[in-house]
């Protein structure tokens, strides 16, 4: 039985990966800062199969103890300071969690068990204001915010430890991936949850930023399958994980509202205060390389939107 350590295991990606690995007969160790604040993304049956350990991310002592106690074959890192307005308010914490913690894990692997495999959930935001469309593994990085810069720092350290210390370390350059488990601070869940509230006459308008921005959206379940395949490959490498298709925020609105028999134009308001600084308008990934590992998306754009709307509708209506 293989053992996988998943940081941030109870979030959207960590929870789907936990379920996937349990089905594959893994022993799953999930880390969290506080056992009393685990996100409700699991059934009781699944949660009982996960060994939950507390780790505050900045404690090297705790990290080394976890690695010694459980000797994981694979480590998947989803622990992250997410990209939102707070990244501009707390750039030091952003670099600590998204950058330095990754280095600490890699260094701990080098010292404790060089055979432990590591996979980083990286971000397409590292490309920033893009130099080409679509983006691939060789596209120039041009990060435009603290989140992207911290992710790029970690990304570069992964290749350093791989090339100079022989670690099986890889980075999944993830494009936007969604599901009903996505936090409501992200634009997709903001759209689906508030569209449902509008349908139920619980609110009247939806305020958004630039709805012309285009993104490459896939399902979180598809994204975590890619990370798993990367870890099973013979040689470690970095991969763009994307659907290869782009849709605008406006299209996402149209799909969500029309599914509820509403016209988004009657409810969506663009507000300058919601526009993001230096936001790239054309983040589209080229998934050719990851497809060589046998990966492909199972969910299309409309299916993702409908699943999220149905979930939000169920939460409010029972």
The per-residue DSSP string of 29-96 comes to: EEEES-GGG--S-S-HHHHTTEEEEE--SS-HHHHHHHHHHH--SEEEE-----SSTHHHH-HHHHHI
Domains and their CATH numbers in the chain: 3-177+219-241 (3.40.50.720), 183-216+245-279+300-317 (3.90.25.10)
> Is the confidence at residue 87, as pLDDT, over 80?
no
Q: Taking 90 as the threshold, does the pLDDT of residue 84 lie above it? A: no
Please determine, for residue 278, whether its predicted confidence score (pLDDT) is greater than 90.
Answer: no
Task: Sort residue 208 into left (φ over 0), alpha (ψ -120 to 50) or beta.
Answer: beta
What is the C-alpha to C-alpha distance for residues 298 and 280, in angstroms, rounded to an integer?
Answer: 26
Model confidence at 93, pLDDT cuts 50, 70, 90, reads confident
Cβ atoms of 87 and 46 within 8 Å: the answer is no
pLDDT in tens, 288-299: 999 999 999 999
pTM of the model: 0.94
By annotation, the residues acting in catalysis are 123, 125, 147
Q: How many residues does the chain have?
A: 318
What mean pLDDT is predicted for residues 65-79? 95
């Amino acid at each position: 039985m293989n053992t996988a350590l998943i940081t941030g295991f109870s979030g959207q990606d960590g929870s789907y990966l936990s379920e996937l690995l349990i089905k594959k007969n893994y022993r799953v160790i999930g880390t969290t800062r506080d056992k009393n604040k685990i996100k409700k993304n699991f059934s009781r049956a699944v949660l009982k199969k996960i060994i939950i350990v507390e780790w505050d991310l900045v404690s090297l002592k705790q990290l080394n103890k976890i690695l010694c106690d459980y000797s994981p074959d694979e480590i998947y890192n989803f622990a992250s300071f997410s990209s939102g307005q707070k990244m501009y308010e707390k750039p030091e914490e952003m670099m600590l969690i998204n950058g330095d913690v990754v280095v600490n894990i890699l260094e701990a692997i080098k010292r404790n068990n060089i055979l432990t495999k590591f996979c980083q959930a990286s971000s397409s935001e590292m490309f920033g204001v893009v130099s080409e469309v679509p983006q691939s593994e060789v596209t120039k990085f041009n990060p435009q915010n603290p989140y992207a810069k911290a992710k790029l720092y970690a990304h570069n350290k992964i290749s350093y430890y791989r090339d100079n210390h022989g670690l099986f370390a890889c980075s999944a350059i993830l494009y936007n991936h969604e599901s009903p488990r996505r936090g409501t601070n992200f634009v997709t869940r903001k759209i689906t949850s508030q569209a449902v509230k509008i349908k139920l006459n619980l609110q009247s308008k939806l305020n958004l930023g630039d709805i012309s921005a285009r993104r490459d959206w896939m399902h979180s379940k598809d994204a975590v399958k890619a990370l798993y395949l990367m870890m099973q490959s013979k040689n470690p490498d970095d991969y763009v994980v994307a659907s290869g298709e782009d849709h605008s925020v406006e299209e996402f609105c149209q799909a969500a509202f029309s599914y509820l028999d509403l016209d988004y134009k009657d409810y969506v308001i663009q507000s300058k205060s919601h526009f993001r600084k230096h936001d790239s308008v054309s983040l589209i990934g080229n998934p050719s390389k990851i497809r060589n590992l046998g990966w492909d998306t199972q969910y299309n754009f409309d299916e993702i939107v409908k699943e999220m709307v149905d979930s939000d509708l169920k939460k409010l209506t029972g």
